Structure 1
Amino acid sequence: MSKLFIFGIGGTGSRVLRSLTMMLASGVKVGADEIVPIIIDPDTSNADLTRTVSLLNKYSAIRDNLQFSTGNENRFFRTEIKQIIPNYTLLINDTDDKSFQQFIDYASMNKANQALTKMLFSEKNLQSSMEVGFKGNPNIGSVVLNQIAHSSDFETFASDFSDGDRIFIISSIFGGTGASGFPLLLKTLRTGKNFPNHDIINRATIGAITILPYFKLKQDDDSEIDSSTFISKTKSALAYYESNISKNGSIDALYYLADDVAKTYENHEGGSAQQNDAHLIEFLGATAIVDFSNSTYTGTSNMELGIKDGADTVSFNSFYQRMRNMLYNPMVQFTMMSNALTYKAETYKSSSFNANNGNFEDLYNSIFFNDLTDFFRKYHEWLKEMRENKRSLYLFNLSCGDKPFDLVEGVKPKRILSKFSDYNLVTDRLNSAVRNCKSSGKENKFLEMFYLGTQKLVKEKLSN
């Protein structure tokens, strides 16, 4: 079974993983049997991280109840997300309650080394607390993250790696953790020799996405993060990446993403207060992972993504055909199912829904169904956050009420010849679909029924 190991570095890494998890739930096809997330973030209380870990756990709890035999056509939750280290998070030692100068043991250095250190790091750098990350200081991050390759968690990753597996790295270029972690991690993967399977890891197919500025932070004189420096830091990092990553052939595919329409967030250095709303750029970052997993490379490929127009609101109609083909059917089907089981739950839990009889009577009181409906709640929150962000990603009308086919923004439902309409048509297609399910077990059959039913409905009413 092929695996795709995804290193998500910093808050941006966690947020892109959140979007990818939603896509995997909807059945977007990736070129791997298993996804293995590994989050690298010294700020383990970062709310972006804890929210993503919670979502990954919820996905896995649902996936553990499903078996995908050859006959099971369902693609919802089909890709396995594998956890190989606790909380999917690589442990970074000695950053709690420590300043940077304590971490490097500045006090025990001789005078010459102290003088050299002061040339490389400002007094503010030396006094900086590392408990909530590196706060826009990649020079600090590059020192602290040097320990990664020597950690037991990294050894666990290396031991699990097999020939033919791939690696993808998510990072931002304008902060501290991502900007320092990406080149350091890539160098370790390409040249490191002191970990298991180093020979196959050194020559593995590796891709990465580097995310340029796409938001701003409110000015706060008490904060070490100043978003007015994002562009200058980005220029410096891009120059370094060109010379030390792209030109030397150390990476197979490097994706770039940015947006010049930037929303201004509250300035939180980290911790539980750092929880940014989902954003179009993170959504598109997840599509880069999907694209990488399904592509082959000869030499280094550098890629950017364009959309059809620069409107403040982006919909499926804004995407070129390749992107639309990747996302449209899976996400429309999944959203149609989530709407039905969120807003019409009592209808589909009742005995009047014929498909229940002999199939799902005891499903609706199960932990599995509770997990599924909780995942739908998280999914709807994610969609709403992106819709309300700047630039807006407005894919679905979640308040379409009794008109389930008024679902896709910018897509008018087709008229078909049927005695049924609206949710009566949904119910009819589900009743037909359950008779065609080939999977066994109520959880498998339930999701396969919704997959087959919504597949037919999208083809009839909302095909692009």
Structure 2
Amino acid sequence: MSRLFIVGIGGTGSRVIKAFTMLLAAGVKANSPYEVVPLIIDPHSENKDLQRTERLLEKYEKVRNTLGDHEGFFSTKILRLSTIAESVQTQAGTTYRFELTDMERPFKNYIGYSSLEYPDKLMADFLFSGKSINQRSQSIDLIDLNMNIGFVGNPHIGSVVLNQFKESEEYKLLTNHFGEDDRLLIISSIFGGTGAAGFPIVLKNIREGNSASNSALLQNAKVGAITLLPYFKVMEEENSPIRQSDFIAKTKSALMYYKHNITGEKRLNAMYYLSDNKSTTPIANDPGQQGQQNDAHFIEFVAALGILDFMNMDDRSLKTEHGRAVNPVYKHFGIKSDERSVEFVHLDEDTVKEVYEPMLSLALTEKYLKEELHHAVDSQVWSTEDTGGHLLKRAFFEQKHSFFNELSAFLEDYKQWFEEMAKNDRAFAPFLLDRQTAIANVVKGQSATKKKLFRHVEIGYDDFNDQLNAASRNLPFHSAEHKFVKVFSEAMADMVKKYYLLRQVN
């Protein structure tokens, strides 16, 4: 099976991979089957966005591995590098990140500052001048900054440190196990430090096939990139090296570099540019000491849609010769109207067709399990009757460290992801998932109703139970876990088709 390798760089890369994992959990799939191999490059190992994404991927992996091959929720396989390189005796690739080394030392050690001649030291001081704050909130020169909190918005520092990327065992595993039908997608921001520095380095090494046994294949690989331009604002802090006023200047500088060295050289088959200037509420200015945790953002969801689009591109449109794309493609994303709070009705019909039904189906599943399960588990056919040789009794939902607990934890993250996007600026708030909202009113701005005698009434959990009971008779099931996921995937999809068809707003 073809694989998509996704290299997410920095906090933005982690958050986009998180959004894409949510889509895969809902059952969103590419037109052709892919296995997905996510990899994160971030020197800031304590980055909370990185950690949240890693935990989410681990939950997804546990659920998917229990289910095996199937259709519906969690149907796409997410792999670690170590899984696809089972024959290689190495500890690399057992996590979802590139393990960068020696990140505790100051930046000046990377350039051999102490051994430089006096004129060279002056030049280094000039190139890497500026101030940062250390973990004790003391102002220090950037050249003395430890790299374990990232590059604090300084890509010129990052480009030096990240050169070790090509020497990592993870890079060697990726390149040596990259197949002819595989694809690679690089995700980064352009206005910070880690992403702006890492993207050109990753692309250069892939196209040149450095340290790889199959360098000729990599040279003509199908490679895309999603670059996020400024889409949020940060609070101004006097002692912070991260300044909102620098975002545009850094973006212009990076775009000029891309023009001459990446897009101008046709290094990419597909390039996605995403940005949003709607944000007015600044987020906390955290260079790294507090862990850098940002709320999920609509643009990161859009970037996840870009991953899906890249997977669906025809091979013929991604042809490469001698390391140059034959017909490079440049894409952006738009909404129908400039709304501060976006819903599915503001998105293109093709986008709605791809993701609305599965995303709503998983949201309805989360709400049902929280509000109705304890009523239904002892009384409904889908749970109490032995359909397909597997019974779903109360014990299935109460075992400690069980499949159901892992799934429930993932669904809680799914709900929180929507809540974070809904309160961000710009907001993405298509669903109302709070416990006060009736199940019929989950889709914002419309009500799910059915005809009863001479009137329409809102549907309720009895209607959901009827659909679940019907789905439980759709044999076969190969395990209790498979039965549970298959029944809910099919039943919720049917409920969306019957009662939750999106009504466009003029």
User: So what's the TM-score if we normalise by structure 2?
Assistant: 0.87
Structure 1 residue 119: Cα displacement: 4.2
Q: Distance in 2 between matches of 1:301 and 1:284?
A: 18
Please name the residue that 2:54 is paired with.
Answer: 53
Answer yes or no: is the 8 Å Cα contact 1:280–1:391 preserved in 2: yes
Moved more, 82-91 or 370-379: 82-91
1:277 is matched with which residue: 292, 295, 298? 295
- 1:410 Cα deviation (Å)? 3.0
Match of 1:344 among 353, 369, 372: 372
CA contact (8 A) 2:342 2:429 kept: yes
Contact 1:32 1:293 (8 Å CA) reproduced: no
CA distance in 2, matches of 1:416, 1:35: 43
Check 1:158–1:286 CA distance in 2 against 1; reply closer, same or farther (3 A cut): same
The CA distance in 2 between the partners of 1:193 and 1:127, in whole Å, is: 30
Matching residue of 2:257 = 240
How many equivalent pairs are there?
458
- The answer for the alignment partner of 1:125 in structure 2 is 142
Question: For residues 272-304 of structure 1, what are the alpha-carbon distances to aligned partners after superposition, in whole Å with 9 as ceiling and x for unaligned?
Answer: 531000010111111100110111225111111
Letter in 1 for 2:398: N
Within 5 Å, which residues of 2 pair with 1:131-280? 131-262=148-279, 263-280=281-298
Is this contact kept in 1: 2:153–2:192, CA < 8 A? yes
Are the equivalent residues in 1 in contact too, given 2:47–2:291 (CA < 8 A)?
yes
Root-mean-square deviation (CA, aligned residues, Å) is 1.8
User: 1:67, 1:47 → 2: CA distance?
Assistant: 30
Shift of 1:402: 7.2
Separation in structure 2 between the aligned mates of residue 185 and residue 420 of structure 1, nearest angstrom: 53
Residue 364 (structure 1) aligned with residue 381 (structure 2): no
* Equivalent residue in structure 2 for 1:428, among 460, 466, 471: 466
Matched, 1:289 2:302: no
CA distance in 2 between partners of 1:461 and 1:420 (Å): 9
- Cα shift readout 1:184-239 (whole Å, capped 9, x = no counterpart): 11111111332232222221111111001111111111111111100111011111
Verify: 1:114 aligned to 2:131, yes or no: no
Question: Using a 3 Å threshold, how does the CA distance of structure 1 residues 131 and 420 change in structure 2: closer, same or farther?
Answer: closer
Cα deviations across residues 366-398 of structure 1 (Å, max 9, x unaligned)? 410001111111111111000011111001011
Which piece of structure 1 moves more, 176-185 or 270-279?
A: 270-279
TM-score, normalised on structure 1? 0.95
In structure 2, what is the Cα distance between the partners aligned to 1:462 and 1:134? Answer: 46
Amino acid at match of 1:354: V
Return the match for 1:95 from 85, 90, 103. 103
- 1:35, distance to aligned residue in structure 2 (A): 0.8
In the alignment, residue 428 of structure 1 is paired with which amino acid? D
Give the whole-Å Cα distance in 2 for the aligned partners of 1:254 and 1:414. 43
Higher relative contact order (CA 8 A, sep 6+): 1
After TM superposition, the structure 1 stretch with the greater mean CA deviation from structure 2, 107-116 or 436-445, is 107-116
Question: Does the aligned pair in 2 maintain the 1:95–1:103 contact within 8 Å?
Answer: no
* CA distance in structure 1 between the partners assigned to 2:215 and 2:44 by the alignment: 28
Find the residue that maps to 1:409 and give its secondary structure: coil
Shift in alpha-carbon separation, 1:402–1:301, aligned structure 2, 3 A: closer
Matched, 1:104 2:111: yes
SS in 1 for 2:474: coil
* Partner secondary structure for residue 167 of structure 1: strand
Q: CA deviation at 1:52?
A: 0.6
SS at match of 1:412: coil
Tell me which residue corresponds to 2:428.
Answer: 393
Offset from partner CA, 1:406-453 (integer Å, 9 cap, x none): 111134324346999410000000000000132311101111001111
1:312 to 322, 335, 340: 340
Contiguous gaps of at least 5 residues in structure 1: none
Q: Secondary structure at the match of 1:18?
A: helix
Aligned partners of 1:416 and 1:461 also within 8 Å: no
Residue 6 (str. 1) matches residue 33 (str. 2): no
In structure 2, the CA distance between the partners of 1:63 and 1:113, relative to structure 1 (3 Å rule), is same
Structure 2: any 5+ residue segments left out of the alignment? Answer: 82-92, 131-140, 319-326
Q: For residues 497 and 404 of structure 2, what CA distance do their matches in structure 1 show?
A: 27
Q: Deviations over 1:77-134 (max 9, x none)?
A: 00011012133110111221x2211222210123353344334322633123312000
Q: Deviations over 1:253-282 (max 9, x none)?
A: 100111111231111111553100001011
Percent identity over paired residues: 38
Residues 148 and 311 of structure 1: CA distance in aligned 2, closer, same or farther (over 3 Å): same
CA pair 308-202 structure 1, distance change in 2 beyond 3 A: same
Supply the distance in 1 between the matched residues of 2:222 and 2:415 (Cα, whole angstroms). 34
